Chains A and B, each alone.
Chain A
Amino acid sequence: MSQRIVVDPITRIEGHLRVEADIQNGKITDAFSSGTMVRGIEKILRGRDPRDAWAFVGRVCGVCTTVHSLASVRAVEDALDIVIPPNAELVRNIMFGTQYIHDHVVHFYHLHALDWVDVVSALKADPKKASEIAQSISNWPKSSPGYFSDLQKRLGSFVESGQLGIFANGYWGHPAYKLPPEVNLIAVAHYLEALEWQKEIVKVHTIFGGKNPHPNYLVGGMACSIGLDDVSAINAERLAYVGQLLEDAKEFVNQVYIPDLLAIAPYYLDWGGIGGGLGNYLVYGDLGANGYRDPSAYKFPAGAILNKDLSKVHEVDMRADAEIQEFIDNSWYEYPADAKGLHPWKGETDIKYTGPKPPFEHLDTKQKYSYLKTPRWKGNAMEVGPLARVLVGYASGREDFKAVVDSTLQKLNVPAAALFSTLGRTAARGLESILVADWTLEFYNQLISNIRNGDTRMANMDKFDPAKWPAKAQGVGHTEAPRGALGHWIVIEDQKIANYQLVVPTTWNASPRDGEGKQSAYESALMNTPVAKDQEPLEILRTIHSFDPCLACAVHLYDEEGKQVSRVKVL
């Protein structure tokens, strides 16, 4: 007999996620992923000024801050055929590169590490040995025996106080934790250092966008004018500040994040064979070396991989009616009777909760069970995110991807097949951080070079006035958000938003199964995962966290009629 376990709330993620899993003989035999919060942003957007949309959709997520604003201004610029100046492209790329590095480091240390790192075990470490290990894997200066000994004392008195705060009731001592105490201590040290560091790197957003989280964007370019002779504008001091922050970020990635990843991974190589899931990967591509409008020069190439077949990268067309569609067979929404899958430009949804009346113990997973819709590409369930990007880059024959992937496989002495796994997903996030840190500096140098050559344009305001717009227009904007492929589709009529639809990374990954019973990425990846103690589902967290869930992004709704959602009769 299988046993149904519930993990809700899943913590160390953004938003509200619930997982129910059936366990038999210590392995997961079935899994259900459910988003349990909804806000209705798309519906709120109807009838509003398209130039304002970036601010509304920016508030979809404060962890993936900037990503929705960027996709939004691109969608509007696509609809209205606005070409933005090269400097604005570069500033957007620099801000986006910053976002990747910030997000991936915070994910690794603050959201994911405690699945692998036993904080309490760090108290048993020998600081001298920890120092030796730290110095053998990196040149990072904070690595003396005294440093680790002080930290251990601090940790000790924290635990002594009896108030464990965020570390209370963790799964400490769980048999699935494998690291020696010294590596645990190093990881805890870097947990705290990363917490302090992450507030620095985001200053790139503050300089160009005025604040972080939620920096400001602008349809037509960026609002941060370049003015080398003015204290208020982007001048030599501001540019030097950005340059310094990017250098520091690269240093942190290469001297702390990656060495830690490579020090922890060898203890968990079995996870190179667990949590693979679908084997289908989707990437829209981003970070254009020649601007957003030239996909051939994207640093992250676009494409799809099916059935782990790296010999073929399929083309993806976000505008084609039959390629990307959303389904609601297991989602708490309604479609008109004849509609099955809908392309986002035609997206039409009305919320209708039909789950159990709270408080409840279990969802009825034989019926609809999530506020997430189910997106499909040509009918296929797809995984999106760092692993998808790294695989598509690798399969596209790009040397930079090959270099980081092959050297890592060699260092860990694992075959390429280990990439299709929970460990592969976590490693891919680190590997692309190495690349992004380099690329972001390239974009920065390009920006400096443009300014040196006399181009200081930052915004194209020629079509900012709605009077110059056509009566009807539609556009699509995409990015590769840290968590994966993100698309925004907009329809503009009479200078107002007539339809706005987001299909976001976590919707691809965390959605419920489709009408044919095909699972999406989370559910598929959880299948056959071993669970040592069903009351302490550490293994479930490992695989779910390897996707870096972001639920606020994933859940949204839009109502074609613009009518008030009626009060739902609960069962």
Chain B
Amino acid sequence: MSLRPTRASYYEELRQRGYSRRDFLKFCATVAAYLGLEASGVSQVAHALETKPRIPVIWLHFQECTCCSESFIRSSHPIVADILLDKLSLDYTETLMAASGHQAEKCMRDTMEKYKGEYVLCIEGSVPTEADGVYCMIGGRTSLDILKEVAAGAKAVIAWGSCASNGCVQSAKPNPTGATPIHKLLGGTTVIKVPGCPPIGEVMAGVLVHIITFGTIPELDGIGRPKAFYSKRVHDTCYRRPFYDAGLFVERFDDENAQKGYCLYKVGCKGPLTYNACGVTKWNNGTSFPIQSGHGCFGCSEEGYWDAGGLYLRAQPFPGFGIESDADKIGTAAAIATGVGIAAHAVMTNIRKSRLIKNLVEEGKEAEKEL
């Protein structure tokens, strides 16, 4: 079956499937609400979906573990069946596509030719650059070769997860295969980085929904991450933050304080150094997130987190955090200052904690007297 050059818009498709305009606007309002838009944004969303055909997407897999694809299919809003059937046209993904081998390669080639400059390129995984790229080969070609060719005609490039954004586990010392994140190989191209191991499913869907709805890439921070999801530290959005401020800490896993849900900073939580949406969006449709389930955040969305000294050591600034640009140098200074600040803060809160306990003891004595 061949691909037709003309594509139906979402609105046209919904009409064909028997939905009313009222249903359509309701859907737009949901999308707008999800994107945090004011009421006026609804018409913007409606307009975008009425006029835009489904965006072709090529999703490449390099040095990765497929956790990003798995996370993507966990998205609950929108659900992935709807994304695949109604919202975009996922023309190439080795995880889900029906075709293999030559037929799979043809899918990619067809999209690259017919939708040159229109398709979105998603990349899961890093690219090995050692030994002329032979550590990752698909269809007899190196991943480096494939990346350069496919990226050339893309409308936007998304680096899914920490592998594509910062190299992740395979780039940890000594980085045996020369695993390299995508932005370092596509000089001049804007790469939307969606780090995390994996990123939250709803965050991945949210980035795509933004591109579909507005036809633009979401606003990015200094190192290329969408501000919508990566502008706040896990620490600042953590519901256990008041315990940190009060100096109430888990001293070791499964102690009495752990059962009370106190702060995990002392058992290695890297929330104070990690920019991600876990504290707000949470995981798997808001079910929980690492800290809520008793294990500290280990900073999986930050560059260099595998070499940051260990999961259970108290937070220190990550090596390699922003070493590439002037803007990032400011980031490094800020991170170091944060590290120092955390230590000072912890000392202060511990003093405050002992005062608090003293006060409680004294209050108790007073209460006893009254009885």
Contacts and interface: CB of A to CB of B under 8 A. Distances in A.
Interface stretch (B39-47, B258-266, B315-323, B360-368): B258-266
A8 B295 CA distance: 40
A468 B3 CA distance: 65
A357 B172 CA distance: 27
Contact of B132 (A171, A218, A570): A570
Contact of B169 (A13, A41, A153): A41
B65 A218 contact: no
Interface in B92-146: 93-104, 106-107, 110, 128, 130-143, 145
A451 B153 CA distance: 59
B185 interface: no
A175 interface: no
A61 B295 contact: no
Interface stretch (A156-164, A247-255, A267-275, A314-322): A156-164
Contacts of B130: 565, 567
Contact of B134 (A9, A231, A355): A355
B303 interface: no
Interface in A67-96: none
Interface in A125-166: 153-154, 157-166
A119 interface: yes
A60 to B, nearest CB: 6
A65 B97 contact: no
B11 to A, nearest CB: 13
Interface in A15-39: 15-16, 18, 36-39
Contact of A230 (B5, B102, B261, B298): B261
A18 B137 CA distance: 10
A414 interface: no
Contact of B137 (A16, A158, A220, A224): A16
A284 B153 CA distance: 49
A195 interface: yes
Contact of B261 (A158, A210, A212, A227): A227
A517 interface: no
Interface in A188-223: 192, 195-196, 198-199, 202-203, 205-216, 218, 220-223
Contact of A567 (B131, B292, B306): B131
B293 A210 contact: yes
B103 A9 contact: no
Contacts of B7: 161-163
A436 B305 CA distance: 36
A457 B13 CA distance: 55
A171 B98 contact: yes
B318 to A, nearest CB: 15
B106 A199 contact: no
A13 B252 CA distance: 40
Nearest to B163: A59
A461 B284 contact: no
Q: Which of A233, A457, A567 has its CB near the most chain B CB atoms (within 10 A)?
A: A233
Contacts of B24: none
Contacts, number: 363
A40 interface: yes
Q: Which size bracket describes the interface of B in this complex?
A: 35 or more
Contact of B66 (A14, A195, A198, A570): A14
Contact of B97 (A16, A168, A227, A356): A168
Interface in A39-78: 39-41, 43-44, 48-49, 51-52, 55-56, 59-63, 65
Nearest to A537: B101
Contact of A62 (B8, B67, B106, B288): B67
B291 to A, nearest CB: 7
Interface stretch (A304-312, A424-432, A556-564): A556-564
B100 A192 contact: no
SS class, residues of chain A in contact with chain B: loop
A163 B56 contact: yes
B344 interface: no
A213 B90 contact: no
Interface in B55-101: 56, 61-71, 73-76, 79-81, 84-85, 88-91, 93-101
Interface stretch (B173-181, B208-216, B222-230, B333-341): B173-181
A424 to B, nearest CB: 23
A211 B258 CA distance: 18
A410 interface: no
Interface stretch (A288-296, A358-366, A476-484, A520-528): A358-366
B23 interface: no
Contacts of A346: none
A195 B69 CA distance: 13
Interface of B: 1-8, 13, 16-18, 53-54, 56, 61-71, 73-76, 79-81, 84-85, 88-91, 93-104, 106-107, 110, 128, 130-143, 145, 168-170, 172-177, 179, 197-198, 201, 240, 252-255, 258-261, 278, 283-285, 287-295, 298, 300, 306, 310-312
Given A39-B177, A353-B134, 12 more contacts: A49-B311, A62-B64, A114-B98, A199-B76, A199-B284, A205-B284, A222-B294, A227-B260, A241-B287, A356-B140, A565-B131, A570-B132
15 contacts: A16-B138, A161-B7, A162-B6, A199-B75, A199-B76, A211-B278, A211-B288, A214-B67, A214-B197, A223-B253, A223-B293, A233-B259, A357-B134, A360-B140, A457-B254
Q: Which 8 A-B pairs have the closest CB atoms?
A: A62-B67, A232-B261, A162-B4, A170-B98, A210-B290, A40-B176, A227-B259, A210-B293
